[in-house]
Amino acid sequence: MKKELITEKHKLERLIKYAGLSRAELARALEVSYRTVFRWLEEGVKPHPAQARSIDELFKDHVDLTETIEEIKKGIRDPIKLLKQNKEIREKFFALMTYHSNAIEGSRMTLKETEMAIEGKKVKGKELFEVLEAVNHHNALLYMLEELKANYKISEEFILKLHSIVMYNFNNKLPGKYRTSYVNLTNTEKKLPSAQMVPAEMRKFIKGINNYKQGVVKKVSLDHYEFESVHPFFDGNGRVGRIIMLAQLLSKGYPPAIIEIEDRYKYYLALSRGDLGDFRNLIQMICDSILKGYNLLFAS
């Protein structure tokens, strides 16, 4: 049976402590009575699901989640060892990660169809390229896990190899090679570096990626933004970027981040806020995604 990582009571208490909200202000923000908030905090009454979702949104909006992530990290086992040794957890996580990451990029495959593709089964009603996208992404995750160890150093070779696997058999996308011309992004007005500048931008990126002096979660978030801003490949940038993020987190002993298809709009919005130098939304979102990864791997 799953245990709750952060209860609604815990979230309310943190809203009071860190956001400075009074119980009356919480009641107004959540559109409930003061008595209801009192019962949640003092009498052990659990909010209804809709109320719990409202509390969760308020919590994410007002409380820095990095502190929560650092707290849970202290009490978890080695995530790399767990994924390597526990086949059931590994397969479930890889299937979910493949489904959500591909869906963010427009795949029409369901989670069940993704699992069937990974298992080598025939998936009715889907094009070969859709099945191949699922198989490739899963294989890239397997490669990542094979390579990973504590404090693993991300290299250019690692990134190019990930891309070659994600884009295997999509030869027009230049698997394992940087783009050779300009590409347009639909989710941002930010100007991308020219193809001629990509190798230099990637050398700069790789030079700094393994320096975590400013805090791991914040650093991983900023690195993810920077990688997507360089957009070094014709296709597969989002998928490769999210696997790089997984590798960074796991190698530093953190739970993996699962960005779900339901959060695609918020994800793109958070990245676009980074164009303005505002990374709070992205950091909060990645923290929330780490909590989801924790719930899958450890909260049992």
Residue 67 pLDDT: 86
What tens digit of pLDDT does each residue of 241-251 get? 999 999 999 99
Length of the chain: 300
Residue 76 has pLDDT above 90, yes or no: no
Taking the complete model, does pTM exceed 0.75, yes or no?
yes
Q: Range of 142's domain?
A: 77-297
Interacting residues of 4 by C-beta distance below 8 A, sequence separation 6+: 299
pLDDT score of 214 more than 90: no
For 85-142, write each residue's pLDDT tens digit. 999 999 999 999 999 999 999 999 999 999 999 999 999 999 999 999 999 999 999 9
Tell whether 29 and 109 lie within a shared domain. no
pLDDT bucket at 68, cuts 50 / 70 / 90: confident
Please, what is the average pLDDT of the chain?
A: 93
CA 151 to chain centre: 19
Q: Would residue 2 count as lying in a domain?
A: no
Residue 72 falls within a domain, yes or no? no
| 197 and 238 together in one domain | yes
Q: CATH no. for residue 21? A: 1.10.260
Whether 59 and 82 map to the same domain: the answer is: no
Q: If pLDDT is split at 50, 70 and 90, which confidence band does 5 have?
A: low
Pair 116, 141 in one domain = yes
**pLDDT mean over 197-223:** 95
Q: Is residue 139 part of a domain?
A: yes
Do residues 236 and 190 both lie within one domain? yes
Residues 41 and 118 grouped into a single domain: no
**Residue 279 token pair:** 């990374």
| Same domain for 256 and 141 | yes
The predicted structure's pLDDT at residue 1: 35
Half-sphere exposure of 296 (CA within 13 A, CB side): 26
Q: Residues 134, 30: one domain?
A: no
Burial (0-12, 13-18, 19+ Cβ within 10 Å), 186: exposed
Whole-number percent of the chain with pLDDT over 70: 96
- Residues 141, 236 within the same domain: yes
Number of domains in the chain: 2
Say if residue 178 is in the same domain as residue 101.
Answer: yes
